[in-house]
Amino acid sequence: MLTLLHDSSVARLVQIALQEDVGTGDLTTELTISGSARARAVLLCKSDGVVCGLPVAEHVLRTLHDDIEFTARCAEGTRVSKGTVIAEVLGNAHAILSGERTALNFIQRMSGVATMAHAFASAIAHTNTKILDTRKTIPGWRLLDKYAAQCGGAVNHRMGLFDMIMIKDNHIAAAGGITGALDAVRSEYEEDRVRIEVECDTLHDVVEALSHGGFHRIMFDNFSPEHLRKGVELVAGTKETEASGGITLQTVQQIAETGVDYISTGAITHSAPALDISMEIMIGA
């Protein structure tokens, strides 16, 4: 599982979110509730889904005040039904009220991504194919979106442009073809130094890539199921295979049944609806 709160980018993101919402202070709470008041709250799932982001919600509240006891009632990645209490909070009322919306924004988004990832992974559970996420994430949220995808049962693709060589259509066009692009990459990097993937748009591209070698994975971009099956047969297990391009919950099963190793889909992160979660607060509890 990806590290989460140990990454400084998450702490910075929480600070930015709190500054955006609380700013110089929560005027309503400060005027209506004593600063010494305590409160109890529960986080309640109002629809079925996969829970993700509890550590971030806790971090939001504890950033506002040390007097916060946060008790998770389920593990990250747990599938729950509507009406499930997923966490309990006890502590300073100002912190709980002021941090409520920011904490919920994090956990609703992350649980939504985890729930979408779970839906895709479940649809192809009868195959050996794995679901991959993509870089189609909210800017600044890359780590959180990919963590949530993992919680839902997906496998993380590259984190960014820095941790994998991925030769796509624009690189191929600029290099004068697949062979030229692979030659350029191999002049600087060997296979054992960094993972290399090459995108193919046609079966002819697949044949050209295989004749050159020097990479780890072929991406079949926007292949029909029929052509994808032929592409997998051409590769014959010598390279990892990945299908990509407009894949939905309605088509993912048919794609997986071609025998491809991985299916990457941006829908997990760019189209995931937030999971409906509320925080029910009792002052003076």
Among residues 199, 205, 242, 261, which one is catalytic?
A: 199
Assigned token pair, 35: 């600063």
Among residues 136, 186, 195, 229, which one is catalytic?
A: 136
Contact 155, 264 (CB under 8 A): no
Among residues 58, 76, 221, 242, which one is catalytic?
A: 221
Residue 101 designated active-site = yes
CB neighbours of residue 109 within 10 Å: 23
Residue 133 designated active-site = no
Among residues 158, 168, 229, 230, which one is catalytic?
A: 168
Among residues 101, 130, 158, 230, which one is catalytic?
A: 101
Beta strand 85-92 with 165-167: parallel, antiparallel or unpaired? unpaired
| Angle, CA of 244, 247 and 250, to the nearest 5° | 155
Q: What is the DSSP string of 242-259?
A: EEESS--TTTHHHHHTTT
Residue 146 designated active-site = no
Which residues are part of the catalytic machinery? 101, 136, 168, 199, 221
